[in-house]
Chain A
Amino acid sequence: MAGSGTAHLRDTDDVLVRVEHMVVEFPISGGTVHAVSDVSFDLVEGETLGIVGESGCGKSTTARAAIQLPKPTSGSVWFKGQDITKLSNEEMRKIRPEFQMIFQDPISSLNPRRTVNEIISEGLRVWGENDSWTLDTIDELMEAVGIDPRYGERKPHQFSGGQCQRISIARALVLDPKVIICDEPVSALDVSVQAQILNLLEDMKERYGVSLMFISHDLSVVKNISDRVMVMYMGKTCEVAGSDQLFEAPTHHYTRALMAAIPGADVAVDDQMLEGELPSAINPPAGCRFNSRCPAATDECRSVEPQIREVGDGHFVACHHPVLA
């Protein structure tokens, strides 16, 4: 697997973001890092797209490049009928409020010298008040995310990690965004707090009608929160399917390896897939990028890159030899 193609993109009216053939490369001395290579995906309104993969597979870069941070090397990103990769900086700045982010480390992603009120309302000070929130209704938003508004004058260090993550969520919501990128938002939290934050994200999504791109290496978490999941390996898409569908019948060998690695999982796979080291992203393997670790790899896999194709209703895979039930 680990191929390219656009067969999995949808053509319905409610598609909010449509990313086509996105490539992100970083020049370094002595070569180029191929972080994201021809990845396409879309996000419909009110949907949560989970992106999973091992560290270094390009999942964060994919989500960030979609909102032009950094601008992709090539490819297009459609949002509200325009290709935002073609926008001038000023035009891009104007639609920035539509995209917000929540980061992994709740404490270091908040300015330690600002009060919670200042942190949450900063967007409003820059962009002016909007339909949902004014500087006077910030308290309501704080209540919605479960922070007592009386603590508005406190600073981040006076809060626990879980509370800081709630503050980050309020900050992301204040500009009425369409899309929130959640980059490992619960990885640094204890399980009991993780559950609170995941529930809160679900509630907020419902209440304020946002779509989420949810990046995580924890498959159980991704399954729980996502409608659709994209599995990535070395800057390529492996498999895209509905969350339940993907977990019931993973077809890509790499997806199966990831699932087998969940402690207590009952999917058994060849250990070779788990043992192998990631190939270099500066000089990725030809053909399917997973071929060096895949037990089913053939000569075809080593020379021809698989294209994404449909193997079930809404279930797409980029593999020459998928595991089909």
Chain B
Amino acid sequence: MLRVTDLAVDFSTPAGNLRAVDGVTIDLAEGETFAIVGESGSGKSVFARTMINLLAGNGTRTGSIEIGGRNIDGLSKGEAKHFFGVDVSMVFQDPMTSLNPVKRVDAQLTEAMRYHLKVSKSEAKDRAIALLKQVHIPSPEQRMRQYPHELSGGMRQRVVIAMALACEPRLLIADEPTTALDVTVQKSILDLLDELRVERKMSMILITHDLGVARGRADRIGVMYAGRLMEVGKTSDLFSDMRHPYTQALLQSIPNPALRSHSRLQPIPGRPPNLLDPPQGCAFAARCRHAQQDCLNSKPVLDGDGVRQDGHQWACFHPVGTPDGDAALAANLEAGENAAGLPMKEIVGELV
């Protein structure tokens, strides 16, 4: 359904060139959900917007994106107009700012259908009502005549989802669809997306910073850091048998409801690298407990171990759970710091 090959996105800024997405390659099958997890600034939203050809004016893209077998660079201007928003559509994070506050729900819902599908006004209206029903909005006829401010946050996000589905996309990109919502509403929105995905055999890219959300909803997960994919694998593999030290650190830093209260949390020391001046080696090396000299010199490529056939890949020279990774960790503990000079003693206190 979706094939992204070696995608890179650069932004030219007054302070220099900033590479927000760096060499991302993913495949997505029909009906599959792929989650991209990362912290703020990891490039996950830029990646999402690139999929739907929404790059800021100072951005340039290299690498290819194929959606449903069509390379998006091969689309003519006229085709592109009815491709983005029809075959691919997007749900944005904040339902208040992605709806027009001065237009009623019906106008916003029918606009895309009228434009892309050239349906009549009354047909568009009927379809819109059916869509609102599908996203479980009670009394849709009345809701159609309301303005966004008259709806609750959860209702607004349902309207946004209905809009994204209006032209029956084959690929839906959901960029933090539930971040602004309460947990209870979050659950019902995610349930809804799941249900629609199964019903319509739609593929979905779910962008989130919440590992819990990704775990419950995705077939496969990609962990992104500083614009690069650090690890890609089936959801279960990633959580129980992760290879990248960043994935491990990320998981260890969230409070686990299964542990007793006041359990010490394990933060990741340091800060993400400045992308205007990216490190020569692995972007995570400065914060990594496994980092050795080779991590500082060159960037590891995203790869498997050559044995496994399940698509689990990681970009690390000294992965977690391998003899080599254990040796690297032991060597760093011995030396009291990792190759980048990060004191290990301090983290041991935090991490063990």
A interface residue numbers (CB < 8 A to B): 54-55, 160, 190-196, 198-199, 202, 217-221, 223-227, 243-244, 247, 257-258, 260-265, 271, 273-275, 277-278
For residue B268, CB closer than 8 A to chain A, the reply is: yes
Task: Please determine whether A223 and B184 come into contact, CB atoms closer than 8 angstroms.
Answer: no
User: Can you list 9 residue pairs at the A/B interface with Cβ under 8 Å?
Assistant: A198-B265, A199-B350, A220-B254, A224-B262, A261-B187, A262-B257, A263-B186, A263-B217, A274-B184
Interface of chain B residues 203 through 227 with chain A (CB within 8 A):
209-213, 215-217
Residue of B nearest to A192 (CB): B268
Task: Please determine whether A224 and B136 come into contact, CB atoms closer than 8 angstroms.
Answer: no
Complex CA gap A192/B256 in Å reads 13
Complex CA gap A258/B182 in Å reads 9
Minimum CB–CB distance for A154 against chain B, Å: 16
Task: Please determine whether A261 and B183 come into contact, CB atoms closer than 8 angstroms.
Answer: yes
For residue B39, CB closer than 8 A to chain A, the reply is: yes
Known contacts A224-B261, A258-B183; A263/B255 CB under 8 A: no
Task: Please determine whether B263 and A224 come into contact, CB atoms closer than 8 angstroms.
Answer: yes
Minimum CB–CB distance for A205 against chain B, Å: 10
Task: Please determine whether A195 and B266 come into contact, CB atoms closer than 8 angstroms.
Answer: yes
Interface string of B183-201 (1 = CB under 8 A from A): 1111110110000000000
Complex CA gap A283/B152 in Å reads 17
Task: Please determine whether B184 and A192 come into contact, CB atoms closer than 8 angstroms.
Answer: no
For residue B250, CB closer than 8 A to chain A, the reply is: yes
Complex CA gap A277/B153 in Å reads 11
Which residues of chain B are within 8 angstroms of A243 by Cβ–Cβ distance? Answer: 261
Complex CA gap A196/B347 in Å reads 12
Which residues of chain A are within 8 angstroms of B146 by Cβ–Cβ distance? Answer: none
For residue B308, CB closer than 8 A to chain A, the reply is: no
Known contacts A199-B267, A226-B261; A264/B255 CB under 8 A: no
Task: Please determine whether A192 and B264 come into contact, CB atoms closer than 8 angstroms.
Answer: no
Task: Please determine whether B184 and A191 come into contact, CB atoms closer than 8 angstroms.
Answer: no
Most buried by B among A191, A244, A271: A191
Task: Please determine whether A275 and B183 come into contact, CB atoms closer than 8 angstroms.
Answer: no
Task: Please determine whether B188 and A275 come into contact, CB atoms closer than 8 angstroms.
Answer: yes
Which residues of chain B are within 8 angstroms of A55 by Cβ–Cβ distance? Answer: 153, 182
Q: Which 10 pairs across A and B sit closest by C-beta, in order of nearness? A: A263-B212, A195-B267, A192-B268, A224-B255, A195-B265, A243-B261, A196-B267, A261-B183, A195-B253, A190-B39
Which residues of chain B are within 8 angstroms of A227 by Cβ–Cβ distance? Answer: 261-262
Known contacts A191-B209, A193-B267, A263-B213; A219/B257 CB under 8 A: yes
Which residues of chain B are within 8 angstroms of A191 by Cβ–Cβ distance? Answer: 39, 209, 211, 250, 253-254
Minimum CB–CB distance for A165 against chain B, Å: 13
Which residues of chain B are within 8 angstroms of A195 by Cβ–Cβ distance? Answer: 253-255, 265-268
Complex CA gap A261/B212 in Å reads 11
Complex partner residue of A192 from B136, B154, B253, CB under 8 angstroms? B253
Task: Please determine whether A264 and B216 come into contact, CB atoms closer than 8 angstroms.
Answer: yes
Which residues of chain A are within 8 angstroms of B271 by Cβ–Cβ distance? Answer: 160
Minimum CB–CB distance for A107 against chain B, Å: 13
Complex CA gap A34/B177 in Å reads 30
Complex CA gap A226/B260 in Å reads 10
Most buried by A among B191, B210, B267, B271: B267
Which residues of chain A are within 8 angstroms of B191 by Cβ–Cβ distance? Answer: 271
Residue of B nearest to A257 (CB): B184
Minimum CB–CB distance for B262 against chain A, Å: 7
Task: Please determine whether A263 and B210 come into contact, CB atoms closer than 8 angstroms.
Answer: yes
Which residues of chain A are within 8 angstroms of B136 by Cβ–Cβ distance? Answer: 275
Interface string of B231-275 (1 = CB under 8 A from A): 000000000000000000110011111011111111110010000
Task: Beyond the given A54-B185, A198-B255, A263-B217, please list 17 additional residue pairs across the A-B interface where CB-CB is below 8 A.
Answer: A190-B209, A191-B250, A192-B249, A192-B267, A195-B266, A199-B350, A202-B264, A219-B183, A220-B256, A223-B257, A224-B255, A224-B259, A224-B265, A261-B187, A263-B212, A263-B213, A264-B216
Task: Please determine whether B216 and A261 come into contact, CB atoms closer than 8 angstroms.
Answer: no
Which residues of chain B are within 8 angstroms of A202 by Cβ–Cβ distance? Answer: 262, 264
Complex CA gap A225/B262 in Å reads 5
Which residues of chain B are within 8 angstroms of A217 by Cβ–Cβ distance? Answer: 182-183
Which residues of chain A are within 8 angstroms of B263 by Cβ–Cβ distance? Answer: 224
Minimum CB–CB distance for A47 against chain B, Å: 12
Which residues of chain B are within 8 angstroms of A244 by Cβ–Cβ distance? Answer: 260-261
Task: Please determine whether B183 and A223 come into contact, CB atoms closer than 8 angstroms.
Answer: no
Minimum CB–CB distance for A315 against chain B, Å: 15
Which residues of chain A are within 8 angstroms of B190 by Cβ–Cβ distance? Answer: 263
Task: Please determine whether A263 and B216 come into contact, CB atoms closer than 8 angstroms.
Answer: yes
Task: Please determine whether A277 and B183 come into contact, CB atoms closer than 8 angstroms.
Answer: no
Most buried by A among B136, B184, B186, B256: B184
